[in-house]
Amino acid sequence: MMAAMDFTTSTAGAAPGTTGASGPTGTARGRLGITVRAARPAEYAAAGELVARAYLDGGLLDFGEDDPYLTTLRDAAGRAAHADLLVAEDGAGTLVGSVTFVGALGPYAERAGEGEGEFRMLAVAERARGRGVGEALVTACVERARALGLRGLVLSTHPRMAAAHRLYERLGFARTPERDWYPIEGMSLWTYGLAL
């Protein structure tokens, strides 16, 4: 968990496709009034439900409401205890996205090796899609990884998440098929990486 270096990233006012990052304690401004920051404990349940809903609504859970992974998706407090739980909020202060940034090896690092960061469980509320929320969350993870001096950032993604793949590629991530894996029998996950 990154306690000493707290980033707040806002996307109001910068050129499209940029975050206007200002550093570890500053606020960065970009487009469409999206702010990315550390989740507050009072928001953990809402952040967990936002992630679970995005996975359910996106058809990414093989067993729907009965999928055992829903417990993990809803456990935002557990993620916050071992990693950086970030949320995106719109100009009205409504949570519209979340991501878990893993800056060091630990229980939430699935594919990261030594000197690499990882992000997981990137989710955007359906009503906020297409507004740059996912890009703001991924950019915040890249900024955190750079601030930690990591050499790379990795992620796993479902093969059906075509819009997410386009976002990752636009932000400089490349497919790393040699790291693709099967978290459970019959379910493959693709991997992407970014050299920093």
24-30 contacts at long range (C-beta below 8 A, 24 or more positions apart): 24/147, 28/143, 30/132, 30/136
Domain 8-150 in CATH 2.40.30.20? The answer is no
Mean pLDDT of 87-116: 95
Give the least confident one: 15-29, 59-73, 121-135, 139-153. Answer: 15-29
Say if residues 8 and 35 touch (Cβ distance below 8 Å): yes
| Cα(60)–Cα(158) distance, integer angstroms | 8
Does pLDDT of 61 surpass 60? yes
Nearest to 74 by CA among 89, 61, 62, 90: 61
Does pLDDT of 12 surpass 90? no
Percent of the chain with pLDDT over 90: 76
User: Among the residues of the chain, which ranges form H helices?
Assistant: 44-57, 69-74, 76-82, 133-147, 162-170
The model's pLDDT over 129-181, given as tens digits with 9 standing for 90+, comes to 999 999 999 999 999 999 999 999 999 999 989 999 999 999 999 999 999 99
- Supply the pTM of this predicted model: 0.85
Mean pLDDT of 50-59: 95
